[in-house]
Amino acid sequence: MTLTLNVNGKPSTVTVSDGSMPLLWVLRDLLGLTGTKYGCGIEICGACTVLVDGQPEKSCDMDVSSAVGRRIVTIEGLSANSSHPAQVAWIANQVPQCGYCQSGMLMSVAGAMQAGHHGASIMGEVNNLCVCGTYPRIKAACSKL
């Protein structure tokens, strides 16, 4: 079946065998937006986090059919040139190590900011896993947002 999604402000048409393919794999394999990562596939790690209508959602467990008609923002669409305040803070605080979890981390932070959180209260909304243990720098970066 052919579906039209709104990804990063643009309509994107994809053909899937059925509507149950998770949004994660549609983004990565069909649309080539590989910034969104697979970590666990079972809604635990948060590496796959994207914004859906402004809310952080784990794309590994969201059927693509249920994403139709909603505004999807991935890390590639967070800003045109890494200018989102969270991205700027991430560079300033040298947050990433391996970096694999950081797309999801940043999308969770961006979602919390959209919901009106700032500074220390952002961390209360971020539950993503980072195996590299970058949490202190994430906290430091968020504290100024």
Partner 1 sequence: MNIPNPLNRPSMEQSSRRAFLGTATSGLTLAFFLPEVSRIDELNAAPVGTTVNAWLQIGADESITLTVGSSEMGQGSFSGLAQVLAEDLMVDYAKVQTVQGGPTLATIAPIGTSINTVGSSVIRTNFWKMRDAAAGAREMLVQAAMQLAGDAVRTNFTVANGVVAHKPDAKTWTYGALAAAASKLAMPASAPLVPDTQFRLIGKTMPRFDIPHKVNGSAVYGIDVRLPNMVYAVIKHAPSFGGTLAKAPAAPSGYMVIPTKVVAGTNRGLEAVGNVNAVAVVGPNTWDTWQRARSLNVTWNLPANAASLNTAQFLADAQALAKNATPYAAGAPNGPGTLYTVEGDATAANSAIAAAAKVVDATYSLPYVSHACMEVLNCTVDYVAGVKCEVWAPTQSAKAVLSLVATLMPALQPSQITVHTTYLGGGLGRKAEVDFVSQALQVAMVVGKPVKLMWPREEDFTHDQYRPMALVHARAGLTASGQVMGWSYRNISPSILAQRGVPLGPKGDSQGYEGSQDLPYAFGTGLTEYVTHPSQIPVGFWRSVGASINTFAVESMVDELAVAAGMDSYQFRRSLLTDPRWIAVLDAVATLSGWNSAAASGHFRGIAIGTAFNSIVAEVVEISNVTSTGFTVSKVSIAMDCYLAVNPGQIEAQLTGGMVHGLNAALYGKQTFVNGAAQAKNFSKSRMIRPSEMPQVAVTLVPNPTVSDRTKAIGGAGELGVPTLAPALANAYYRATKNRVRALPFFPNATMGD
Give yes or no for residue 27 binding ligand FES (CB under 6 A).
no
Piece in contact with ligand FES (CB under 6 A), picked from 62-70, 75-83, 109-117, 127-135: 127-135
Q: Which two tokens stand for residue 37?
A: 């990562």
Piece in contact with ligand FES (CB under 6 A), picked from 12-20, 73-81, 90-98, 107-115: 90-98
Give yes or no for residue 100 binding partner 1 (CB under 8 A).
yes
Near partner 1 in 2-31, by CB under 8 A: 17, 21-22, 25, 28-30
C-alpha distances (whole Å) from 139 to each of 42, 107, 116, 120 are: 25, 15, 17, 7
Helices marked H in the chain — which ranges? Answer: 23-25, 85-92, 102-114, 135-143
